[in-house]
Structure 1
Amino acid sequence: MSQSNPAASAIFATKAEASRGRLFDESESATRTAFQRDRDRIIHSGAFRRLKYKTQVFVYHEGDNYRTRLSHSLEVAQIARSISRVLGLDEDLAETLALAHDLGHTPFGHAGEDALDACMKDYLGFDHNAQTLRIVTKLEHRYAQFDGLNLSWETLEGLVKHNGPVITDDTDINDLPRALTEYAEIQDLELSTFAGPEAQVAALADDIAYNNHDIDDGLRAGLFSIDDLMALPHVGQAFQSVIEQYPGLEETRVIHESVRHLIGSMIGDVIAETRARLDAAKPQSASDIRTLSHAVVSFSAEMTQHNATLKEFLFRRMYRHYRVNRSMSKARRIVTELFSLLHAEPDLLPPEWQVGCDGVKGIKTARRVCDFIAGMTDKFAIEEHKRLCDLSDPRA
């Protein structure tokens, strides 16, 4: 039997000792709970290491201080652990899901994903959440007994459903990305219910991290100013409070202090709202939380509106800023040209990636090329594009 996590004290926490297990049976660890073991497998995976050079908003070479997928994932994990600790949930499971939630992202952020999805439109498409499942169940080749990482049921469920049920009244299983439908034939992840509470915490921790850290990165990059933020409810108030409390404070410290306050206030809001929902629902287990008709971990209505206003501002002033647009335009061309070339000439793939292809422009070849490109870092994609498309580059 798996060890228990004494920090998971709430009756509705997911219990490591009661895990539904792994697809492939393994002996339990003598020193770690099932979820600690999952976390360690993710940290040691190749996909996790590659997050270091994958874009959050800015391509890696634009500066050392901007967030990458790796630093973002670590920040999400810290927030998820903090919230889980206060609520008496399993911190290790929340951390595991936070660390793994972006494994399926392509190089160049959402621009790369959009380009790859367009390339795959005739071959069942591309979705980064489904790609995360594909990575941890199939594409990582580290263990002698199985492909993937053989993670616990609870971790796989949380990765697939952290944003809510994927089968709804408007969506059936045939509408889902192929990676999900394929895996559903092997193991039932109960796709029509909510995920456990730790996965819901990880999803909100992601929102808290990227909204606030995009404020930091956007200010650092000069895409907007503190004055531009003053009109935003909640955000403007936080900056104004710091400026009034510390007159004459240098701008970099104003930014850090304000963002720190914003993160703290959002965490406090999630904890208060979640406690109220738990008090109303009175769940007696994590399974009870899964069967509710709504998420139990949530922002308040007021904070939800503040976040929507902030996201609209960031979309308009940062994600669609002309400097970001120029960079992402180049990124889309790189992904599109790499896919077109490798799909038409699969013999250009490294030998291990040619395995499983079905010839020029085949559907299996498309998926292998897609997996190859999706796993690239920004750095590798740029270099591979030069090697294959720049006739003056002598490298093969």
Structure 2
Amino acid sequence: MRSGAEQPGAGYAGSDVQRWFPEPAKRASRTPFERDRARVVHSSALRRLGAKTQVLGPGSDDFVRTRLTHSLEVAQVGRELGKSLGCDPDVVDTACLSHDLGHPPFGHNGENALDLVAMSIGGFEGNAQTLRILTRLEPKTFTPDGVPCGLNLTRASLDAATKYPWFSGEGPVGSDGLVTAKFGVYHEDAEVFRWLREGAPAGVRCLEAQVMDLADDISYSVHDVEDAIVLGRVDPGMLTTAAAHEKVVTQVRDWYDPDISDDELGDALDRLVALPYWVTAHDGSRRALAALKDMTSQLIGRFCDAAAAATRARYGEGRLVRYDASIVVPTEILAEIAVLKGIAAAYVMAPREDEPVYHRQRVVLAELVEVLAERAEAALEPMFLADWREAADDAARLRVVIDQVASLTDLSAYAWHARLCGPRDPA
């Protein structure tokens, strides 16, 4: 499929604004990339992120971030960083707003649960599910013969939203000699994936996707620590102790294992807590909240400015888009971001791993998949039921059931489970 006469922005080629299914521009006053962003903003998939877990469940506290608020923050960080390098800000914005669309209920816990029940059909991966939503599941565009095209975004925007441009088992090999478990496309979606990757180097992310990925890392590393401090899970003043130092570095190594030495991670923690804007105490007052917000803003600026400066030092001052460059992040900054992730993991996420609610969430999703597979005709929503009826075999039908369950929010997953499997206490 090829599209018509939409004009690209500066630095982008005509192929970058092609759409999987050709459609005419509706308003000459908008660029094709502005249209992409608008489609994501108005999508039902984005709205559902407002009731999906980021770190803590949406109903656990009025302050905590959801997947939606996180995505909005990533978009703001990514848009500014990308613009400083010459990327079209709407391409980056679209990628950032889209990056978590494929996440199921209950955050990464839910992702792991669905991966287990989908092992026979290639597993479940939130990033691959995102591509599936953008190109197939989100109701917006159809071909004349009734084939869904999802939001039918431009090639540049779809490529920018593809954080892991490879199939399962085909990703890069890490320092441990193992192929990364992350992937960005299911084999069922190979055709549109190969289309959007036309002309791209195999396994290489475009610059806009790299900006999105870094903006995601920066946002959740900083904001998860902010949430943890406000909720009393982390005492920022205690992070200078030897015990905290060891706990955080060990957690980074256990969960993330970056290609950074323990000494470099320790030095990064020392640098962070020595910053003049690092908060050392938090009492919940308005002044304390303002100081904490200043810290998060300063950290985001520190990380973005360092990456932009290092990238410019390597590639010069011209406009950088698509495959003109790869973003450069100094090792010291990577270590600081990793340490912030380690703080949130050590004091918030890891302690929750063994809580009964986490086990309960996995059971809810597994049982939902089982009952929906058995009672699809009576239980699936109409659009998923149509997909199920058109599926060619049992594997394709199971993928449709997974699509349905992944689309649910935290609260609707519990409600569906109570209705279909019998009432249980979600706590």
| CA deviations over 1:87-129 (Å, ceiling 9, x no partner) | 2221111111111111111011000000000010112211111
| CA deviations over 1:47-71 (Å, ceiling 9, x no partner) | 1111111110111111222111110
CA contact (8 A) 2:71 2:97 kept: yes
Gaps of 5+ in 2: 174-178, 246-268
- How many angstroms does 1:82 deviate by? 1.3
Pick closer, same or farther for the CA change 1:325–1:270 going to 2, 3 Å.
farther
User: Which residue of structure 2 lines up, in the alignment, with residue 303 of structure 1?
Assistant: 333
CA contact (8 A) 1:270 1:297 kept: yes
CA contact (8 A) 1:78 1:95 kept: yes
Q: State how 1:335-374 maps to structure 2 within 5 Å.
A: 335-350=365-380, 352=382, 353-357=384-388, 362-374=394-406
Structure 1 range deviating more: 50-59 or 197-206: 197-206
User: Which residue of structure 2 lines up, in the alignment, with residue 183 of structure 1?
Assistant: 192
Matches of 1:55 and 1:354, distance apart in 2: 26
User: Which residue of structure 2 lines up, in the alignment, with residue 208 of structure 1?
Assistant: 218
CA contact (8 A) 2:237 2:280 kept: no
Q: State how 1:1-396 maps to structure 2 within 5 Å.
A: 1-3=5-7, 5=9, 14-15=11-12, 19-28=16-25, 29-145=27-143, 146-160=148-162, 162-163=163-164, 177-184=186-193, 188-189=197-198, 190=200, 192-230=202-240, 232-238=269-275, 250-279=287-316, 286=321, 288-289=323-324, 296-322=326-352, 325-350=355-380, 352=382, 353-357=384-388, 362-390=394-422
| CA deviations over 1:136-160 (Å, ceiling 9, x no partner) | 1111122354431111011111222
Letter of the structure 1 residue corresponding to residue 329 of structure 2: F
Matches of 2:290 and 2:305, distance apart in 1: 22
Gaps of 5+ in 1: 9-13, 291-295
Corresponding residue SS for 1:213 = helix
Matches of 1:205 and 1:297, distance apart in 2: 11
Matches of 1:285 and 1:271, distance apart in 2: 11
CA contact (8 A) 1:17 1:33 kept: no
- How many angstroms does 1:193 deviate by? 4.4
TM-score, scaled relative to structure 1: 0.84
Pick closer, same or farther for the CA change 1:325–1:260 going to 2, 3 Å.
farther
Letter of the structure 2 residue corresponding to residue 141 of structure 1: P
- How many angstroms does 1:379 deviate by? 1.4
Matches of 2:83 and 2:104, distance apart in 1: 32
Pick closer, same or farther for the CA change 1:226–1:323 going to 2, 3 Å.
farther
- How many angstroms does 1:332 deviate by? 1.3
Letter of the structure 1 residue corresponding to residue 192 of structure 2: Y
Identity %: 32
Matches of 1:169 and 1:220, distance apart in 2: 37
TM-score, scaled relative to structure 2: 0.78
Letter of the structure 1 residue corresponding to residue 379 of structure 2: L
Corresponding residue SS for 1:222 = coil
**Larger RCO (CA under 8 A, 6+ residues apart):** 1
Instruction: Please tell me the root mean square deviation across aligned C-alpha atoms, in Å.
Output: 3.1
- How many angstroms does 1:317 deviate by? 1.7
Question: Number of aligned pairs?
Answer: 372
Matches of 1:83 and 1:186, distance apart in 2: 27
CA contact (8 A) 2:17 2:33 kept: no
| CA deviations over 1:148-177 (Å, ceiling 9, x no partner) | 1111011111222x35666557679xx963
Letter of the structure 1 residue corresponding to residue 239 of structure 2: L
Matches of 1:249 and 1:61, distance apart in 2: 23
